[in-house]
Amino acid sequence: MSDQACSVCVGQVVPDFKLTTFLPTEGGFGEFDLGAARKAKQWTAVVFYPADFTFVCATEFAALAELYAEFKKNKCEVVTVSTDTQFTHLAWAREEKELAKAEFPMGADPTGKVTRLFGVYDEGSGLALRGSFLISPEGKLTNAEVNFYNVGRNMQELLRKLKANVYLAKNGEQACPANWKQAGDATLTPSAKLVGRVHDALKKK
């Protein structure tokens, strides 16, 4: 895993990739194209998970489904990815009630090519670790989080990071402190005057 961990590092441009997808809202298949997402000037959240028909994964899908409209509101497409095929995605979506509200495209990466690109391919099992990645409209990787198989993610945190990045894209001179949630919350403007005075600056806001 160590050699793969920095296949794409935070701050770097992600090479274009394509994935065959299962589209829950249509009940059919499609394609996710990162290059097309860049041309459309949209954010992309790539959410890797180990496998269909598993346990923690189903709860993550349900949590992500509840927030999908908020991601779209912030001009972000969400694509989930595992090393299953699109046909297995379809079968899982039909059977698992936790996926009933899922509307985001489910990417199929049976060869592990894209999973390896992001450094989350487990060579021992052939599965993806729980990796979450945000890609800017310019194609830059802005955020990365990786969990082991048995720990589910907080999808609210992924949304929070997206909102912070969207805000900073318009307010590049600022920085979002810990627990920042949305526009209107206190931010910091790094400068020589702020050194050693962060507490005082936040108290004024």
Please spell the DSSP secondary structure of 28-39, one letter per residue. Answer: EEEEEEHHHHHH
pLDDT grade for 118, boundaries at 50, 70 and 90: very high
Mean pLDDT in the chain?
A: 95
pLDDT tens sequence across 165-186: 999 999 999 999 999 999 999 9
Active site residue 57: yes
- Per-residue pLDDT, 57: 99
Cβ-Cβ contacts under 8 Å for 186 (sequence gap 6 or more): 177, 180, 202, 205
Question: Catalytic one among 6, 57, 76, 176?
Answer: 57
Q: Which residue in this structure is represented by tokens 């049976």?
A: 110
Domains located in the chain, CATH noted: 18-170 (3.40.30.10), 173-205 (no CATH)
- Per-residue pLDDT, 203: 86
pTM of the model: 0.94
pLDDT tens sequence across 60-92: 999 999 999 999 999 999 999 999 999 999 999
pLDDT tens sequence across 127-179: 999 999 999 999 999 999 999 999 999 999 999 999 999 999 999 999 999 99
Amino acid type, 185:
D
Find, among 85, 75, 92, the residue nearest to 159 by Cα: 75
